[in-house]
C-alpha cells in the first residue's frame, strides 16, 4: 500500500482546508485508477528552515525546502512507501526562475507546493476561496504526478507546465488518459 502524506509547512493558508485537500487528492487518484492509495494529513506543521529563505528575494529556495522535507521524513520513507508533499503559504523560487508553484524529487518521493501565488489576493484581486482551493488541488496533483513517474504533458492535463497562475486556471484538475496510463504502469511496477 502506498501512502501520500500531505504535510503542512505553515499554519496560515493550509490547516483550514487540509482535510478537504486530502479528500480531493485521494478522489483524483482513485479516478485515475490508483486504488489502494491512502492520502493522509500529517498531524504536525513542518516549518522550512531559515537557511532556505532568501532575504534578497523574500522567497524560499524550492530545492532547499524539498530536501529539508526529505531529511525530516527519512525514517518514515525508509520504513514505508510513503510519498511526502509539503504544502505551505510560502513563495518559492528556483535558480533561473522568478518563482515556482512547486518542486518534486521524483526518485526521492518528496515534493513541495508553494501556495502564496495561488491566492487571488496576491494579484490584487478579491479573495476567492474556491478559486484558491482549485489551484491548490491542481498544483498538488501536478507535483504528485511527478512523484508517480510523470513528466510535463502538452495535452489537456493537470501535468501541463504552468508559467503563470492563469495557466493553472486553464488546465483541468485531472490527469489525461495518456498520463493516467503511464502513472498506473509506474504505480503497478513500484508496488510489486
pLDDT attached to residue 192? 60
Q: Which helix (H) or strand (E) holds 84?
A: strand 82-88
Phi, psi torsion values for 191, nearest 5 degrees:
-100, 5
Calculate mean pLDDT across residues 131-145.
Answer: 96
pLDDT attached to residue 99? 97
CATH, domain range 2-190: 3.40.390.10
pLDDT attached to residue 71? 93
Contact 84, 77 (CB under 8 A): yes
Among 100, 96, 174, residue whose Cα is nearest residue 142: 174
pLDDT attached to residue 78? 55
pLDDT attached to residue 119? 95
- pLDDT tens, 73-128? 987 665 668 899 999 999 999 999 999 999 999 989 999 999 999 999 999 999 99
Mapped onto helix, strand or coil, the DSSP state of residue 116 is helix
pLDDT attached to residue 67? 96
Q: How far apart are CA 100 and CA 97, in angstroms?
A: 7
Considering the chain, what is the average pLDDT of its residues? Answer: 92
- pLDDT tens, 36-87? 889 999 999 999 999 999 999 999 999 999 999 999 998 766 566 889 999 9
pLDDT attached to residue 45? 93
C-alpha of 104 from chain center: 8
More confidently predicted of 35 and 41: 41
pLDDT attached to residue 80? 67
Q: Give the active site residue among 16, 143, 167, 170.
A: 143
143 is catalytic: yes
Amino acid at each position: 500500500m502506498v501512502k501520500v502524506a500531505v504535510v503542512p509547512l505553515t499554519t496560515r493558508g493550509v490547516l483550514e482546508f487540509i482535510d478537504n485537500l486530502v479528500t480531493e487528492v485521494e478522489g483524483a487518484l482513485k479516478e485515475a485508477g490508483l486504488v489502494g492509495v491512502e492520502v493522509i494529513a500529517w498531524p504536525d506543521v513542518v516549518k522550512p528552515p531559515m537557511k532556505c529563505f532568501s532575504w534578497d528575494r523574500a522567497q524560499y529556495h524550492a530545492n532547499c525546502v524539498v530536501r529539508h522535507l526529505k531529511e525530516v521524513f527519512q525514517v518514515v520513507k525508509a520504513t514505508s512507501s510513503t510519498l511526502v508533499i509539503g504544502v505551505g503559504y510560502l513563495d518559492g523560487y528556483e535558480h533561473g526562475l522568478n518563482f515556482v508553484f512547486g518542486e518534486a524529487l521524483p526518485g526521492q518521493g518528496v515534493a513541495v507546493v508553494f501556495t502564496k501565488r495561488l491566492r487571488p489576493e496576491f494579484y490584487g484581486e478579491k479573495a476567492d476561496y474556491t478559486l484558491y482551493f482549485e489551484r491548490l488541488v491542481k498544483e498538488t496533483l501536478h507535483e504528485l504526478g511527478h512523484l508517480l513517474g510523470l513528466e510535463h504533458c502538452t495535452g489537456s492535463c493537470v501535468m501541463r507546465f504552468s508559467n503563470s497562475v492563469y495557466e493553472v486556471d486553464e488546465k483541468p484538475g485531472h490527469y489525461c488518459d495518456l498520463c493516467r496510463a503511464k502513472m498506473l504502469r509506474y504505480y503497478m511496477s513500484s508496488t510489486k
